Amino acid sequence: MNDGFFFKAVMVFIILLIALLLTTPFMVLFSSVVFIEEEFISDFTWAFLLSLFSSLLSASISVMLVLPVSYYTSRFLRGWRRRIVYSLLMVTAVITPSATGVLLLEFFTLNPLGGYLNRVFGVVGDVEGVVVAQLFVSIPIAFSYYAALFASVSRVYEELALESGLTRIGYLYRVLLPMLRGRVLAGYVLVFSRAFSDFGASLILGGGIRGRTWTLPILVYSATYMGGLVTVSTVLAFYLVFAVLLYYFLSGLEERGVGGVEEVE
């Protein structure tokens, strides 16, 4: 049997399974009389805009914080120091988002420092809580992606930059990131998508308050119990189209590099 046929057959089989799953909400909509209440449209609009705003903000903060840490870890940490950093930064990728939300809730309500920050910024039960929750669940994605990316770059570029008089900070922001801007942007989209899809942590810390801290994933969950099959299918159809377009855009960035280098050796 031709090896190429085997790989294609497996790929087609998986794609057909996923396609059957993804088309189900559209089948429900096409076979039903679609009537959407005005109140639901208002909830949907708010949830989508809140998800978009909070995810953009949390992803931006996450990437800005993680970039120098990822560079330093990939270049200078080895052995037990590297393992400790990885363990701490990746812990929220191992525990469930709900557990992350509970940890954050306990910090902002029981810890003296967290309580003070909550009184100042109003984190619990507000939009700020959604942003903080999304930030903590997206940090592991950002760290693992950028640490692997920087580790794949030859040290020759860094040595040349240092010999030309740049500091390592200058090399990171003036040479390395511009050189890899396509992949850096692709990583940002990946981090954004993780923040956008968060449910558990955002629900617990943000409170899941209708018209205030309902994100799109929370709306999908709520519509399952409150809105009926057609309402849920409407939300899912929009959600799926958005997700497919987002990852299509992400794949394009990784392939073309958006002006960045295709391969770094």
Question: What's the confidence (pLDDT) of residue 1?
Answer: 56
Question: What's the confidence (pLDDT) of residue 24?
Answer: 79
Dihedral (CA of 104, 105, 106, 110) sign? positive
Whole-structure pTM value: 0.85
Whether residue 259 has pLDDT greater than 50: no
Whether residue 110 has pLDDT greater than 60: yes
Question: What's the confidence (pLDDT) of residue 263?
Answer: 46
- Write out the DSSP string of the chain: --HHHHHHHHHHHHHHHHHHHHHHHHHHHHTS-----HHHHHHHHHHHHHHHHHHHHHHHHHHHHHHHHHHHHHHH--HHHHHHHHHHHTHHHHS-HHHHHHHHHHHHHHSHHHHHHHHHH--TTSHHHHHHHHHHHHHHHHHHHHHHHHHTS-HHHHHHHHHTT--HHHHIIIIIHHHTHHHHHHHHHHHHHHHHT--HHHHHHH---TTTT--HHHHHHHHHHHTHHHHHHHHHHHHHHHHHHHHHHHHHHHHHGGGS-S---
Q: CA separation (Å) from 1 to 5, 6, 7, 9?
A: 7, 8, 11, 12
pLDDT in tens, 65-106: 999 999 999 888 888 888 999 889 999 888 999 999 999 999
pLDDT in tens, 134-146: 999 999 999 999 9
Give residue 116's pLDDT band: very low, low, confident or very high (50, 70, 90): very high
Give residue 38's pLDDT band: very low, low, confident or very high (50, 70, 90): low
Give residue 33's pLDDT band: very low, low, confident or very high (50, 70, 90): low
What average pLDDT does the chain have? Answer: 86
Whether residue 243 has pLDDT greater than 60: yes
Question: What's the confidence (pLDDT) of residue 227?
Answer: 62
Question: What's the confidence (pLDDT) of residue 55?
Answer: 94
Question: What's the confidence (pLDDT) of residue 135?
Answer: 96
- Tell me what the mean pLDDT of segment 242-259 comes to: 72
Q: Which fold has domain 36-259?
A: MetI-like fold (1.10.3720)
Which distant-in-sequence residues (6+ apart) come within 8 Å of 40 by Cβ? 223, 227, 231
- Taking the C-alpha atoms of 161, 164, 166 and 167 in order, what is their torsion angle to the nearest 10 degrees? 80
Looking at 8-12, 122-126, 135-139, which range is the least confident one? 8-12
Question: What's the confidence (pLDDT) of residue 25?
Answer: 77
Question: What's the confidence (pLDDT) of residue 105?
Answer: 94
Nearest to residue 242, comparing CAs of 1, 52, 64, 102?
A: 52
